[in-house]
Each structure stands twice: as C-alpha cells, then as structure tokens.
A and B are shown apart, each in its own frame.
Chain A
Amino acid sequence: AQTVTQSQPEMSVQEAETVTLSCTYDTSESDYYLFWYKQPPSRQMILVIRQEAYKQQNATENRFSVNFQKAAKSFSLKISDSQLGDAAMYFCAYEGGANSKLTFGKGITLSVRP
C-alpha cells in the first residue's frame, strides 16, 4: 500500500523568507502523481501544486515550487517570499495505480511570523 509521510508536524517562517516543507512517500508504481494541498483555518482544501512522476522538471506555481526526487521518493514544497496568508496546514498527497484514490500525509502546520 502507498504511504505518505510528513515527519514535521509544525514549522515557522519569517515573513518574506523561504521555507521548505518535507514529504516522502512509498510506492511500487512507476506512474503516479503528487500534490500539495493547503488548508487554511477556513478548512477549505486548496490545491497548491502538482507533479507528474514521469516529468523530470520540477513543477512551479508562482512562489511555490517543488523538489521532486523520484529515486529518493521525496517531494518537498518550497515557499518563497512567505506571506501571512500562507499560514495554514499543508498536506502532501499521492495518487497512483489504477484508481483515483488520494493518499494524504498527516499534514504540517505552517505559521508565518510578521
């Protein structure tokens, strides 16, 4: 079974600084997708960024980028120029195999210091 591990329960970053959130996963599949979701206090789940495993290039969405290391099964999220609105819980998620099931990590709570 696929597993997603987010070992850091909490992180803090100074506004305008850069922070990296870690995620590792375990799978026997060769073709899969990885996601980072943001859950602010409103609890709405918002997709931040996604990565297709067959793509070597790391995905980037404005201030958000990933470091995808397929061999190491690592998928970290980098947030540049952190803003107060980035404070939220962040979930790493995996989708692969013959179905559309998302497997989520436990999440990490990110706080942003003004």
Chain B
Amino acid sequence: DAGVIQSPRHEVTEMGQEVTLRCKPISGHNSLFWYRQTMMRGLELLIYFNNNVPIDDSGMPEDRFSAKMPNASFSTLKIQPSEPRDSAVYFCASSLRTQGVNEQFFGPGTRLTVL
C-alpha cells in the first residue's frame, strides 16, 4: 500500500489567494483527519471525518477554512482567502475505525507558506 498521499508537498502562495490541499487516505480506511502543525501551537486537529461525514470540525480556525470528503478515497482542505498566519505544515491521517485501538497513519504533510 502506498500509504496516505498528500499533494502538493510544498505550496507557496500570496496572501489572499485560495489554497487547496489534497489527501488520499489508505484504501479501506474509514476515518480521515486533518491536522496543522506550527512551532507555536504544535499539532492541532482541524477536522475529522468518519465514513465521509464530518464528525468534529471544532478545530477549524475560522470560516476561511473548509474541508470536504466527497468519497472514501479523497479529501480536500481549502483556505480562502489565505493569510500569512496560515503558514504551517498540514497533515492528513487515516485510520480504520473499529472497536479498540484505531492507529492513525499520517501522510508526509504539505508545507504551506503564505507570503
């Protein structure tokens, strides 16, 4: 299995532009998570989906952020308009939610720089 796939790996954009981050979870996994990592705030959960349905989006910082999961093999995180404070590494993770421990497998992350 290729693991969790994220694209792009790096993104540099200017303030005010729209940014779309993409994630392909591991085939067969039914839960998907979006995290943001910064020096100041560490790793934060933004939103997670179970069976393509958003379960908890309380970590989404503001209305400029939105996430979708149109099917079991694809999710997007969109920032519109982007701001310099959105600069961070964004991780996508997936897991197979069953009874018991649910190990999350992380993608390589997307490093976003907003100028």
Instruction: Tell me whether A and B are bound partners.
Output: yes
Question: A residues touching B (Cβ–Cβ < 8 Å)?
Answer: 33, 35, 37, 42-47, 50, 52, 91, 95, 99-107
Q: Which of A45, A95, A104 has the most CB of B within 10 A?
A: A45
Contact at A45–B42, with CB atoms within 8 Å?
no
Q: A100-B97, A102-B33 are in contact. Are A44 and B106 (CB under 8 A)?
A: yes
Given contacts A33-B101, A43-B89, A45-B106, whether A104 and B42 have CB atoms under 8 Å apart is yes
Query: Nearest CB to that of B45 among chain A residues?
Result: A101
Docked pose: A100 CA to B106 CA in angstroms: 14
Interface 0/1 of B92-109, CB less than 8 Å to A: 010101001111111011
With A43-B108, A50-B101, A100-B97 in contact, is A106–B31 under 8 Å at CB? no
Q: How many chain B residues touch the partner (CB < 8 A)?
A: 23
Residues of chain A within 8 A of B101, CB atoms compared: 33, 50, 52, 95
A37-B106, A100-B95, A101-B56 known; 11 new pairs, CB 8 Å cut-off, are A44-B106, A44-B108, A44-B109, A50-B101, A50-B103, A99-B56, A101-B48, A102-B45, A102-B104, A104-B42, A104-B43
| Least CB separation from B30: chain A residue | A100
Q: List 11 A-B contacts (CB under 8 A).
A: A44-B109, A45-B91, A46-B106, A47-B104, A95-B102, A99-B48, A100-B48, A100-B104, A104-B42, A105-B42, A107-B42
Task: Report Cα–Cα, A37/B31, bound state, in Å.
Answer: 19
The reply on B50 being an interface residue by CB < 8 A is: yes
In the A-B complex, the 10 residue pairs with the smallest Cβ-Cβ separation, listed nearest first, are: A45-B106, A104-B43, A106-B42, A33-B101, A100-B102, A43-B109, A100-B31, A44-B108, A101-B45, A100-B97
B43–A91 touching, CB < 8 Å: yes
| B35-94 with Cβ < 8 A to chain A | 42-43, 45, 48, 50, 55-56, 89, 91, 93
Which B residues are CB-close (under 8 A) to A91?
Answer: 43
Residues on the B chain within 8 Å of A44, using CB: 106, 108-109
Q: Which residues of the other chain, A, contact B31 by a CB distance below 8 angstroms?
A: 100
What CA separation (Å) do A104 and B36 show in the bound complex? Answer: 11
